[in-house]
Amino acid sequence: MAVVLNPVDLIERENCLVDNWVWDKTSKSPEVLLSSDSEAAYFFIDPVNESRGTAGVRGTEGFVYGEHYWEIIFLEPPVGTSVMVGVGTQRSVLHTENYNFVNLIGMDDNSWGLSYKGTIWHGGKCWRYCEPFYDDRTVIAVHLNLYEGTISFSKNGKNLGVAFSGLNNLDQQLYPLISSTATETELAVGRRICRYLSLQELCYLTIAKSMKHQYQAVNRLPLPMAMKNCVTDLI
């Protein structure tokens, strides 16, 4: 029984729940306009003034445990210094001005982000993660697994692998984030799904973590063979 899922498989599980968070009208840059249902965000839409900085918006729901999957749809091709998807705490910066064009999600230790240029950011540092994506209708999915403490991304249904780890040691809620420096950027949230482990699954996961890579030691556990097999699958 696999407990830890990859971001693409998660959406196929019957025991997943549909999430209904949207973009937060009270936690956004003044340069972000939201649709009537708060599922789409429009950046720097002033017909006279172009972008003069970086704008972000946070989701309405923060997460402290469980597995969470959501999709961000690029309604227009990403351009400019930075268009990003990721997660962050309530302390995450959501606005810069004075022509300060930055990779907002990941500019400090309060957020973790993926840029359309294929780099991931955290703590003001970046690493190459994937190929850049420039097309409209691109769908970037975020898989936040707070049992394992990881963030993975997928592009148009293809799993890109783990981008960040160590997030299960935080004592703060993590929120979905998007940001842009570019005029008329349009991003919308698509499917939102969450999954919480049962008590039995949590027990299997705890045992597997304590065993690390000791496959042979599992056979010495005073457990039925079916349970041993479940633990082995997680190591």
Torsion over CA: 60, 63, 69, 75 (sign)? positive
* Average pLDDT of the residues in 131-137: 96
Q: In terms of residue numbers, what domain contains 136? A: 7-195
Same domain for 104 and 217?
A: no
CB 160 within 8 A of CB 129: yes
Mean pLDDT computed over every residue of the chain: 89
Same domain for 135 and 208?
A: no
Determine the pLDDT at residue 83: 98
Question: Is 2 part of any domain?
Answer: no
Same domain for 206 and 113?
A: no
Residue 6 clears pLDDT 60, i.e. is over it: no
Residue 127 clears pLDDT 70, i.e. is over it: yes
Question: Is 106 part of any domain?
Answer: yes
Determine the pLDDT at residue 2: 41
Same domain for 40 and 145?
A: yes
Same domain for 150 and 182?
A: yes
Query: pLDDT band at 201, cuts 50/70/90?
Result: confident
Question: Is 175 part of any domain?
Answer: yes
Q: How far apart are CA 96 and CA 98, in angstroms?
A: 7
* Average pLDDT of the residues in 32-47: 95
Higher-confidence residue of 16 and 184: namely: 184
Same domain for 98 and 129?
A: yes
Residue 3 clears pLDDT 70, i.e. is over it: no
Query: pLDDT band at 225, cuts 50/70/90?
Result: confident
Task: State the chain's maximal CA–CA distance in angstroms.
Answer: 71
Same domain for 145 and 210?
A: no
Summarised one tens digit per residue, pLDDT across range 51-68 is: 999 999 999 999 998 999
Same domain for 172 and 89?
A: yes
Summarised one tens digit per residue, pLDDT across range 159-172 is: 999 999 999 888 89
Same domain for 150 and 212?
A: no
Residue 9 clears pLDDT 90, i.e. is over it: no
Higher-confidence residue of 188 and 207: namely: 188
Number of domains in the chain: 2
Same domain for 110 and 150?
A: yes
Question: Is 98 part of any domain?
Answer: yes
Question: Is 70 part of any domain?
Answer: yes
Residue 19 clears pLDDT 60, i.e. is over it: yes
Higher-confidence residue of 85 and 218: namely: 85
| pTM above threshold 0.75 | yes
CB 44 within 8 A of CB 184: yes
* Average pLDDT of the residues in 204-211: 72
Residue 24 clears pLDDT 90, i.e. is over it: yes
- Residue whose tokens read 């005073």: 222
Determine the pLDDT at residue 234: 62
Determine the pLDDT at residue 99: 93
CATH of the domain at 159: 2.60.120.920
Strand ranges, E, within 75-224: 83-88, 95-96, 111-115, 119-122, 125-128, 139-145, 150-155, 158-164, 175-180, 185-195
Same domain for 118 and 26?
A: yes
Same domain for 77 and 175?
A: yes
Question: Is 69 part of any domain?
Answer: yes
* Average pLDDT of the residues in 92-107: 96
